[in-house]
Amino acid sequence: MTLLHELFSGHVPAPYLRRFWRNCLASLACLVIIAGPGCEKQKTTDAGRGAAEVTVVTATPKDTPVTFEYIAQVQSSRQVNIQARVNGFLEKRVYTEGSIVKEGQTLFLMDQKPFKAQLDQAMAALAEQQAALEVARKNLGRVKPLAAANALSQKELDDATGQFQTASAAVAQAKAVVEQAALNLSYTVIKSPVDGITSYAQQADGTYLNPGNSQLTTVAVLSPSYVNFSLSENDRLRYHTEVTKGLLRQPEGENYVAEIVLSNGSVFPHRGEVTFLNPMFNPQTGTFLIRVTVDNPEGWLVPNEFVRIHLKGALRPNAILIPQRAVQQSAKGHFVWVVDKENKVEPRPVMLGDAYENDWFVNEGISAGDQVVVDGTLTLHPGASVKATPYVEKTKAPEAAPSGTTPSKSGK
């Protein structure tokens, strides 16, 4: 402040005054040299900034097939509990646990000796009753003509007839006992009633079987197999609404084709069809049960495993698809940038449907012919001018098929 005061008061010596003004001029020259090109460059940049370059797709309605995917669980179409039907000792297991068996194949053998003895006893009792019946028949044959000639009384005839009928009933009863004894003996050979895959043996050899431990194993039919999945109440109502509005067209007769995807991503070679829709709502899970029946001759599908199921056959008529990357998110919901006839952009709120590969179905907000921005959205603002070029989706290079994609019985 002292130098400035002396400068403006005129008390600074001349040499110092000349040096001061020389330094000021030198500083001003430096500022001009440094600031001049930068300012010019900024002006050039501002003046050269043109329309933003973006890529766009033209909204084109077309009939598009859709696929619905669900998590499902495999179930045997017929799972049979193999149980002992008589009390006795389990002699041995004659099948290999976990193997596939045929109908009529023997699984277990029980000790037959007590049952053979019961059958022999019953047959002996039957022979005795048959002999008594023969005596009663001959006696009745002699009494009838004598009674007709009044040589014997009516009472004697009635007694002979009653003895014959009693003997006949006794023979019938003895035959029933023999038949039951024969059945019990046959129950000691426990066979599979179906073709299927077996479970483990639940009782060890030598165990005494009774109603409390009669369960021996299970046999599950593999072909056909059931594939069960659940449809939520919200999805059911949404599908119904889309069908009513014409946004979704179901296949003729609602005959969806079911494609099954295994846990390793491979597609099961046999297609299935929906055979049962449970009309009863499950309040515990909030879902409806749907069943698909599929042939499984090779036994690749096993009970209780989880798979994915694709239901095909539905169609979205005149559907509009846009790439997923074109959709933006704001506090008010989803929107896209749309280019107008003057090559300016405006945000457009949209209502999205399901995903389709790398695209979204647009239910509301986009009309046929609209130019939707895909790339270059970060610098856009309402009314901004753009230079639009068609969007070209990048295609993936073909990849070698991964090993182990073919289903097998040992692993999927």
Task: Report residue 232: phi and psi, to 5°.
Answer: -70, 160
Q: What is the CATH number of the domain that holds 301?
A: 2.40.30.170
Range of the domain at 206: 79-220
Assess if residue 402 is contained within a domain: no
Assess if residue 193 is contained within a domain: yes
Q: Which of 165, 194, 220 is the last residue of a domain?
A: 220
Assess if residue 395 is contained within a domain: no
Residue pair 307/260 in contact (Cβ under 8 Å)? The answer is yes
**Pairing between β-strand 345-349 and β-strand 351-356 as defined by DSSP bridges:** unpaired
**Whole-angstrom distance, CA of residue 60 vs CA of residue 95:** 63
Residue 254 backbone zone (phi > 0: left; psi -120 to 50: alpha; other: beta): left
Assess if residue 9 is contained within a domain: no
> 86 and 204: one domain?
yes
**Whole-angstrom distance, CA of residue 363 vs CA of residue 357:** 17
> 107 and 196: one domain?
yes
Residue pair 70/189 in contact (Cβ under 8 Å)? The answer is no
Q: What is the mean pLDDT of each run of 10 residues along the chain (412 residues)?
A: 46 54 52 43 44 91 92 95 96 94 96 96 96 93 88 88 94 96 96 94 95 95 95 91 89 91 93 92 91 94 94 92 92 93 93 88 92 91 91 60 36 37
| Per-residue model confidence (pLDDT) at position 16 | 52
> 210 and 284: one domain?
no
**Among 133, 89, 129, CA closest to 108:** 89
**Among 294, 287, 286, CA closest to 311:** 294
Residue whose entry in the numeric block shows the structure tokens 């483990």: 200
Tokens representing residue 340 in the block: 């107008």
Q: What is the CATH number of the domain that holds 120?
A: 2.40.50.100
> 111 and 209: one domain?
yes
| Per-residue model confidence (pLDDT) at position 46 | 35
Query: What is the total count of domains within the chain?
Result: 3
pTM for the full predicted model: 0.68
> 128 and 256: one domain?
no
> 83 and 212: one domain?
yes
> 367 and 343: one domain?
yes
**Whole-angstrom distance, CA of residue 338 vs CA of residue 130:** 101
Assess if residue 35 is contained within a domain: no
Q: Who's near 382: CB < 8 A, 6+ residues apart?
A: 345, 346, 347
> 233 and 155: one domain?
no
Type of residue numbered 239:
Y
> 266 and 350: one domain?
no
Tokens representing residue 260 in the block: 């099954």
Q: What is the CATH number of the domain that holds 368?
A: 2.40.420.20
Assess if residue 269 is contained within a domain: yes
| Cα diameter, the chain | 186
> 163 and 257: one domain?
no
* CB contact burial 69-84 (16+ within 10 A = b; e otherwise): ebebebbbbbeeebeb
Long-range contacts of 115-123 (CB under 8 A, 24+ apart): 115/86, 115/88, 115/181, 115/184, 115/185, 115/187, 115/188, 116/185, 118/181, 118/184, 118/185, 119/178, 119/181, 119/182, 119/184, 119/185, 121/181, 122/174, 122/177, 122/178, 122/180, 122/181, 123/178, 123/181
| Per-residue model confidence (pLDDT) at position 228 | 96
> 249 and 165: one domain?
no
| Per-residue model confidence (pLDDT) at position 245 | 87
> 228 and 99: one domain?
no
Assess if residue 140 is contained within a domain: yes
Q: Which of 284, 318, 352 is the last residue of a domain?
A: 318
